[in-house]
Amino acid sequence: MAKRILVVEDNDLNRKLFCDVLKSQGFAVEPVADGNEVIETALRFVPNLIIMDIQLPTISGLELIETAKADKVLRSIPILAVTAYAGKGDEERIRDAGADGYLSKPVSIGPFMSAVRELL
């Protein structure tokens, strides 16, 4: 059975790219553009990995990571933060919120897939 990956990304092009790359590698993918739908979708889809954009329009990806890590069903699911936040202290802050992996945008496919495989 294919591993399931929830892709949380508000940018249409990035979301399509991540989903297309993951599907081409045999993963079952569920895209989410609206941060307000992330937890509900994750509980329904029960992914093996969550790829989380941090800068979302309605709710912070950091807040979503903290919410997921506090949920008894979702807490064990690894989270890969993929974000344009690449300043000093950003990775530490994102990992402190509960992210298991961190990539800064723009993302190359090689490192992206390596991070995905590492967390699965």
**CATH number of the CATH domain containing 34:** 3.40.50.2300
pLDDT of residue 83: 92
Q: Is residue 115 part of a domain?
A: no
Assess if residue 50 is contained within a domain. Answer: yes
Q: Is residue 114 part of a domain?
A: no
Tell which wins on pLDDT, 102 or 1: 102
Residue 66 inside a domain? The answer is yes
72 in a structural domain:
yes
* Higher pLDDT among residues 58 and 119, named by residue: 119
* DSSP SS3 for 9: coil
30 contact partners, CB below 8 Å, separation of at least 6: 4, 5, 6, 7, 41, 45, 47
Region 85-91: mean pLDDT is 83
101: in domain: yes
Residue 95 is predicted with a pLDDT of 96
Are 53 and 82 spatial neighbours (Cβ–Cβ below 8 Å)? yes
Give the Cα-Cα-Cα angle 86, 88, 93 (nearest 5 degrees).
80
Q: pLDDT class for 1, splitting at 50, 70, 90?
A: confident
Domain with 73, as residue range(s), is: 4-108
Q: Is residue 117 part of a domain?
A: no
Q: Is the pLDDT of residue 89 over 80?
A: yes
Domain total in the chain: 1
Please list the helix, strand and coil fractions of the chain in percent, rounded to the nearest 5, in that order: 45, 20, 35
Task: Enter the pTM of the model.
Answer: 0.96
Mean pLDDT for 107-117 is 96
What is the average per-residue pLDDT within 71-82?
Answer: 97
Helix ranges (H only) for 38-108 are 38-45, 61-70, 90-97
User: How confident is the model over 8-65, as pLDDT tens digits?
Assistant: 999 999 999 999 999 999 999 999 999 999 999 999 999 999 999 999 999 999 999 9
Please state whether the peptide bond connecting residue 106 to the residue before it is cis, i.e. omega within 30 degrees of 0: yes
Is residue 118 a part of any domain in this protein? no
